[in-house]
Homo-oligomer: A and B are copies of this chain.
Amino acid sequence: MAKTSERSQRGGHAGVSIEDVAAAAGVSTATVSRAVRGLPRVSAATREKILKIAGDLGYVASSSASGLATGRTRTVGVLAPYVDRWFFFKAIEGVDRELHANGYNLSLFNLGGQSGSRERLFSKTMVYKQIDALLVLCMSLTPEEVEDLQRIDIPLVVVGGPVEACPSIGINDFAASVEATEHLLKLGHRRIALLHGQDDSDLNFAVPRLRVDGFMKAMKDAGCTLPPEWDVFGNFTVSSGQAGFDELWSKPGPKPTALFCASDEMAIGAMLQARRRGVRVPEELSVIGIDNHEFSEAMGLTTIAQSPLEQGQLGTRMLLEELAGTSGSVRSVTAGHHLIVRETTAPPAADPPAA
């Protein structure tokens, strides 16, 4: 008590504790605790008085103290391989929105595409005993990592693609690719090139593969084949899309009439480069992507839209429900996607040179 008032005197209200409030209100700390947390068993009158005093004093409970007492930090971790890529920052926005709306904090762990940083997650201290739940953004987890996570035993969900043995939220990437490819096919294209997404980092993931599989499936069903020279690789970035286009056009032989890109960012890079090289889109080359990136509308890019923001929100909501006690809330769900036809796809030019 002596100590308390001492501190109050010198420190201004920069450290008011529950005891200060209790003393000022002439009640016990237990009552203050109940009052400020809106728990029952406090008379309306006392609660009001306590709340007023707490407000005047600028009291805020110490998260460390209540965390220690309750065993919960009220923060959920978000593990992201990147933070500067569309899917990721959009998802983060969704997660943040849901979290803060519910009085939770968001602790961000960004791997920044660096292999080495990978260890950070499980380097004990980082994730363990610091968060109540973990949301993983579109990256693969090794079996050991999954096992570690399960041992830690906190709710976990991955957003953006499937991970073995983990509940996840994401679109059906295979179906999305099939639809995109079929759009091209229906337009009359037969000579379709593929700008393959492939992760350059160690954060490999199923999504790139699924997108390619869907493309292949649709092609096969339509009786089309993909010449090896029309199968180029990118790493989901704009510049890799540019490089992909150049690679395609620098090869001798006939050119495709359409290009399927495993992501909008690559599609944008490709069409920008096409434009620069004097290849007209869509007259000479139709281009389609997947994602509906922020810039896609402005670019007039035909694509398959998905909403990482909503996926992030949904994943967070499930985590929160689980934490609220509804076990079984976290489960895998398939998010929606839909084709948006814009200006970069059109029927192939009449009578293209034979393949």
Contacts and interface: CB of A to CB of B under 8 A. Distances in A.
Interface of A: 12-14, 58, 60-65, 67-68, 73, 75, 83-84, 89-90, 92-93, 96-97, 100, 103, 105-110, 112, 117, 120, 124-126, 128-130, 151-153, 238-239, 241-242, 268-269, 272-273, 276, 294-295, 297-300
B298 A239 contact: yes
Contacts of A84: 89-90, 93, 294
A106 B108 contact: yes
B60 A68 contact: no
B151 A297 contact: no
Contact of A108 (B73, B96, B103): B96
Copy total for this chain: 2
A273 B295 CA distance: 12
Given A63-B130, A100-B109, A272 B298 contact: yes
Nearest to A78: B108
Nearest to A237: B294
Contacts of A64: 63-65, 67-68, 73, 129
A13 B151 contact: yes
Contacts of A106: 107-110
B300 A276 contact: yes
A4 B14 CA distance: 36
B129 A298 contact: no
A18 to B, nearest CB: 12
A238 B300 contact: no
Among A14, A129, A276, the one with the most B-chain Cβ atoms within 10 Å of its Cβ is A129
Contacts of A239: 297-298
B242 A129 contact: no
A264 to B, nearest CB: 11
Contacts of A105: 107, 126, 130
Contacts of A299: 272
A272 B129 CA distance: 49
A240 to B, nearest CB: 10
A300 B272 CA distance: 9
